[in-house]
Structure 1
Amino acid sequence: MQYAPRLFRSSALTICLLLAACQKQPETLPPSGNKKIELIQQDLVAINFSQSVERTSFTGSIRAVNQSSLQSQVTATATSVRANVGDAVQQGQILIQLNNQDNEARLAQAKANLAAAKAQANLAQNMMRRKQRLLDQGFISRVEFEQSQVDYQAQLENAKAQQAAVDIALKAEQDGTLHSPITGVVTKRQVEPGQTVTAGQTLFEIVDPTKLELQARLPSDQRNALKVGQKIEYCIQGSPETLTATLSRISPLADLNSRQIEFYATPNSELNPLSIGAFVEGNILAVPSASGQLIPLDTIQNLEQKPYVWVIRQQKIERVPIQILEQRYSENTAVVSGLTSGDQISRVKFNDDDLHKTVTIQRTK
């Protein structure tokens, strides 16, 4: 029994140690929300400033400013055709020779009639002068002299009529030789040697490729977008290059059937002549309407409904709602509002758990 007190003291000490162990508090860990996120400089995009421009889209084509067609003025047979499609021609150059034997015969006959009428007029004039002398000497009456005056005047009028007939025949003879109305390139030929052509038939079409323009139409309800001098951006079908032009002319009336207004624009750079007739798509650019921040289009989240971007603001991750002023798909950029100076757009997509976390940026060497 002398060991009982010692055993009791050992048991009490063991119980005290167990109680102390139960009352020890667990080690406190830092909340996961305070963990820093590391990014590299390439993950961030600095904000630039730009202006939003209202754009009105259109479709059209390329045309030559100077173009003309050559038509036959008479019915005849083509004896010679001196140009082909693609040939360069000069103004006044002979392109077609028509068979004009009948016209030559009519011209010769008209010239002969004119010569006879002039001879009769000279004879009547000489007769009138002789009768003038006889009247002065008292050998004839005044009535006889005045009759000679009438005969002379009639012969003069007959000569004038014959001269008009000569002019008509000469014009018909000249119509057998067709000349190029402008300097340019032949784009269409619709006559062959030996072919009989009719009056009014188009035989050639010629364009001047040195001066081209855009021809397009816009619905009349968008007429306010049309102003001479406005800038135009456009692309020619088959080419990704964006070109510019200046609106130069506007039709004062809308087409009664399509209710569209036709307009023309002068390209700001020289175009390939092979572009004539090519289809174009473009936009009429209005005066800048608003200014905003220029950011990459692919950094915008939820683009169609409530767009926002992830930004690093004061070294913390924030989700900032924005308003899209303009989307430029060809440049992968957008003009937006809602950001502040100093914001850095993140290309990395975060989630709600990352909000307000501290960010450290590693700078690459």
Structure 2
Amino acid sequence: MTRHYRTLALASLLMLALAGCKEDVKPVEEIRPVRYVLAGSSNSQDSQQFSGEIRARHESQLAFRVGGKVLERRVNAGDSVKKGQLLAVLDGSDYQLDTSAKQAQLAAAQADLAQQEADLKRYRELLTQNFISAAQVERQQTAVQAARARLQQAQAALSASRNQGNYTALLADSDGVISSIGAEPGMVVAAGQPVARLAANGEREVAFQVPENAVDALRGASGFKVKLWADGRELDARLRELAADADGATRTYAARLALNGSDAEVRLGMTASVRALLPGQPGAAMRLPLSAILDEQGKHYVWVINAQQQVGRKAVTVGAIDGDSIAITSGLRGGEKVVTAGVHLLRDGQRVTLLEQTAAARGQQ
């Protein structure tokens, strides 16, 4: 029996020794990356954003002034052209035949006038010899005037026919860039049918569409900022044009902004973000993305990041929802960093790392 107790005691000592050899394992603190916004102040400007495209101040829809079959195309989309440069050519065979016919009519009118004038000269000689009456001479004078009018008509018809023949060549009306061209050899086009678009050199603008609920706000904007997607540059702009009638298909209003300080790096077709600066209203609520709001048991919270990059839950009072943002009427100070994604995965005091700042609340500039 004594030996049994000794065995148990030895086993217990061995277990205690092994336990003492193990190091204490501490749990690893989870640091979560988060996106955030800076909450806007209550008296800051409001803003609205739109997507736009860089366009030329002057754009021309080019078309042949006569109809016909396209023989050749001399340029492609994206080519730079000079004023008067040949872009495309129509088959001018029919117009050449018409010009030949008009030339023949002109020659006939010239011959008829010469004959009538010669007859008038003889009639006057016969009148001096009293072989004919004065009335016959007057009738011949009238015939000469009619022949002269037919000659003028034939000359005008020939000039018009020659113009029609010249219109078979499509020329650039200014220096610029061919932004699109639809004329292909073998294609039959009608007079006035657009076959190319020419973006003239010079000023550049931003074209964008405005929904009907933002038209009045856009007219009252205090300024505009245009951010280029390609290089991130931000340019000042002013509203130059806002359509008075909505587009029949999209039900939006076309608007154009004139860019201040644009250069050769602002190329046609570039994508731009348009921000309209709206006058602030005293007491206006700041706005946050909807994804920043944490709802629990009928109450609303946000996660605020402190200077030690730890998050803390703060109760807020919310207002109206507008699109993907919501108004914060109380509980939040301007300038605080607010988490905008993954709010259900955080806990009080948790350390975080900051990712790139997302679009700030609509109330902040």
TM-score range, shorter chain: 0.5 to 0.7
Gaps of 5+ in 1: 1-47, 312-319, 326-334, 352-365
TM, length-normalised to structure 1: 0.61
How far residue 244 of structure 1 moved from its aligned partner, in angstroms, is 3.0
Which secondary structure state, in structure 1, belongs to the residue aligned with residue 244 of structure 2? strand
1:56 is matched with: 48
> In the superposition, relative to structure 1, how do residues 165 and 61 fare at CA in structure 2: closer, same or farther (>3 Å)?
same
Structure 2 counterpart of 1:138: 130
Match of 2:209 among 217, 235, 243: 217
Letter in 2 for 1:57: Q
In 2, the alpha carbon distance for the partners of 1:163 and 1:178 equals 25
Mapped partners of 1:336, 1:271: distance in 2: 43
Give the unaligned 5+ runs of structure 2.
Answer: 1-39, 307-313, 320-327, 339-346, 350-365
Structure 1 position 148, deviation (Å):
0.8
Correspondent of 2:245 among 238, 253, 268: 253
Q: How far is 1:75 from its partner?
A: 1.0
Decide whether the 8 Å contact of 1:226 with 1:250 is kept in 2: no
Residues 143 and 219 from structure 1, CA distance in 2 versus in 1: closer, same or farther, beyond 3 angstroms?
Answer: same
**Which TM-score applies when normalising by structure 2?**
0.61
Post-superposition offset of 1:256: 4.8
Residues 272 and 148 of structure 1: CA distance in aligned 2, closer, same or farther (over 3 Å): same
Sequence identity percentage: 23
Is the CA contact 2:230–2:270 (under 8 Å) kept in the aligned structure 1? no
* 2:165 alignment counterpart: 173
Q: Could you tell me whether the CA contact under 8 Å between 2:52 and 2:272 is conserved in 1?
A: yes
Task: Provide the rounded CA distance (Å) in 1 between the counterparts of 2:46 and 2:154.
Answer: 69
Counterpart of 2:118 in structure 1 is 126
Distance (whole Å) between structure 1 residues aligned to residue 53 and residue 218 of structure 2: 17
8 A contact 2:68–2:91 mirrored in 1? no
Instruction: Give secondary structure in 2 for the equivalent of 1:252.
Output: coil
Any residues of structure 2 matched to 1:234-245 within 5 Å, and which?
Answer: 234-237=226-229, 239-245=231-237
Mapped to 1, the partners of 2:277 and 2:103 lie a distance apart of 65
Sort the Cα spacing of 1:322 and 1:148 in 2 relative to 1 into closer, same or farther, 3 A.
same
Q: What's the RMSD between the two structures over aligned residues?
A: 4.5
Do the aligned partners of 1:230 and 1:246 also contact (CA within 8 Å) in 2? no
* Larger RCO (alpha carbons 8 Å, 6+ apart): 2
Residue 76 (structure 1) aligns with: 69
- How many angstroms apart in 2 are the aligned matches of 1:205 and 1:57? 29
Q: Which amino acid aligns with 1:198?
A: V
In the TM superposition, 1:89-168 aligns within 5 A as 89-135=81-127, 137-168=129-160
Q: Cα deviations across residues 321-346 of structure 1 (Å, max 9, x unaligned)?
A: 99999xxxxxxxxx999999xxx989
Change in Cα spacing, 1:230 to 1:215, as seen in structure 2 (3 Å) is: farther
Assess, with a 3 A threshold, how the Cα gap between structure 1 residues 274 and 189 changes in structure 2: closer, same or farther: farther
CA distance 1:54–1:90, change in 2 (3 Å): same
2:189 to 194, 198, 221: 198
Structure possessing the higher radius of gyration over alpha carbons = 1
Say if 1:127 and 1:107 are closer, same or farther in 2 by CA, change over 3 A.
Answer: same
Which residue of 1 is the match for residue 80 of structure 2? Answer: 88
One-letter code aligned to 2:226: Y
TM-superposed deviation, 1:153: 2.5
Q: Distance in 2 between matches of 1:147 and 1:251?
A: 64
Q: How many residues align?
A: 282
